[in-house]
Amino acid sequence: MMPPRVRTPSDSHARSEEERHVSQYIARLGRRSPAPSARLRLHRRPRRVAMLSVHTSPLHQPGTGDAGGMNVYIVELAQRLAAINIEVEIFTRATAAALPAAVELAPGVLVRHVDAGPYEGLAKEELPAQLCAFTHGVMQAWAGHRPGHYDLVHSHYWLSGHVGWLAAQRWGVPLVHAMHTMAKVKNASLADGDTPEPAARVIGETQIVDAADRLIANTAEEADELVRHYAADPGKVAVVHPGVNLGRFRPADGRAAARARLGLPQDALIPLFAGRIQPLKAPDVLLRAVAALLGERPELRSRICVPVVGGPSGSGLAKPEGLQKLAARLGVADVVRFHPPVGQEQLADWFRAASVLVMPSYSESFGLVAIEAQAAGTPVLAAAVGGLPVAVRDGHTGFLVQGHDPDAYARVLRDFADHPHLADRMGEAAARHAQSFGWDTAAAATADVYTAATQAHRRHVRSTHG
């Protein structure tokens, strides 16, 4: 990713690029006009997208607070869309007074900071009260441009969906929405100590599902959940698998070199947890599994190391030291290493160093971390929830566990301890599997969804106005 810098994008960049491609296409046809289908495709592909991420900024460090896989998703998708000449402007809530109004994340990708509520100390649960202020900021930015500046709105998460609903209607453009997580799905499988999602969110999600021209689901299961739980029109739901940055997450120079760089023991069993520390992600299941394994096999204590890389988030913020205290109560504090969130480059090294990534989550719309670890050559031990059965090929690139019984996870960890080459063999298969999840593929599929949403929106407008 290029270092962000403040800039103002050229209004004509995307349009001139589009015109150049059209001219080249016509020239290849020997100066004949393109066929109607080609003409529609070229004309209706969005040139500039307003992308909304109210509650978390793509500039924030994933792994702490509310920053996680969605941040990575937005950053990578936006950059790949810009590479195929779809300019992206990302609107997010300003969390510091000193932030510039606009920051260039990459060529063709602009992050706009919107003032909405106090800069610090505002929990995600309090953000619905600031949606009016956020919407006002988005409209102010739009008012500074000529008509037709944005061709489409793409909102992420239900809070952004409500802003996107109003913006799309006001601008006369289609709305594409990605849920990322759904209240009804999360509430159906809550972890102990976690807080249920409020009824207001369920109502809000239902409204967005009805209002959007297209809904993007990470997996076929998520598409089914949209239809089953929210009565989504199946014809409006498109499945687009998220991707992985294959240039960053790769086996590189291998496990031994990564362990040397991170100061980890070379011959140890290293089950890694990487992500936000909250009940939803269930890092406690890994600690309990390690305790069960050492209770059965005490000789392994001298050759096991359990890194936990991430920061408190969500309901985990209520007890930020809770996981450390649990490790002490379980008698495994001597083998667990807590590390704060790290940047993407160093995260790739943590994946390479691990014997296995452990994801005992109660809910995952996809689980980007699982694909990232596999791309780095590391197998995954995960709960069979959400999109993880798509991300992980059970028995080939890792193992899926039904439920959250620590003993079940301990049995798999014992296999990795008893068969050191299992991590290498599965890791090679995992790296091959991850190759099919490149972000270029995801961006091309998303662009197709944009085109379909634009066509559907125009048909609806024509039918409404006779």
Residues 6+ apart with CB under 8 A from 116: 54, 93, 94, 130, 131, 133, 134, 137
Query: Is 268 annotated in some ligand binding site?
Result: no
**Residue 62 in marked binding region:** yes
Question: What are the C-alpha distances in Å from 18 to residues 13, 51, 157, 274, 417?
Answer: 9, 20, 30, 41, 55
Q: Tell whether residue 376 is among the known ligand binding residues.
A: no
Residue appearing with tokens 């929405």: 177
351 is in an annotated binding site: yes
Please check if 67 is assigned to a binding site: yes
Has 243 been labeled as part of a binding site?
Answer: no
Would you say 378 is a known binding-site residue? yes
Q: Is 222 annotated as a binding residue?
A: no
Q: Is 69 annotated as a binding residue?
A: yes
Tell me if 169 is assigned to a ligand binding site.
no
**Does 13 carry a binding-site annotation?**
no
95: annotated binding-site residue? no
Asked whether residue 48 is marked as a ligand-binding residue, the answer is no
55 is in an annotated binding site: yes
273 in a labelled binding site = no
**Is position 71 annotated in a ligand binding site?**
yes
SS3 of residue 249 by DSSP: coil
124 is in an annotated binding site: yes
Residue 64 labelled as part of a binding site: no
> Is 201 assigned to a binding site?
yes
281 annotated ligand-binding residue: yes
Q: How would DSSP label each residue in 298-345?
A: GGGGGGB-EEEE--B-GGGGGSTTHHHHHHHHHT-TTTEEEE----HH
Q: What is the DSSP string of 356-400?
A: EEEE--S--SS-HHHHHHHHTT--EEEES-TTHHHHS-BTTTEEE
Q: Is 450 annotated as a binding residue?
A: no
Strands 336-339 and 398-401: unpaired
Q: Token pair of 170, please?
A: 């006001």
> CB of 442 within 8 A of CB of 325?
no
Annotated binding-site positions:
55, 61-62, 66-71, 124, 157, 181, 201, 276, 281, 342, 351-352, 354, 364, 372, 378
Annotated binding-site positions for Mg(2+):
351-352, 354, 378
Annotated binding-site positions for 1D-myo-inositol 3-phosphate:
55, 66-71, 124, 157, 181, 201
Annotated binding-site positions for UDP-N-acetyl-alpha-D-glucosamine:
61-62, 69, 276, 281, 342, 364, 372
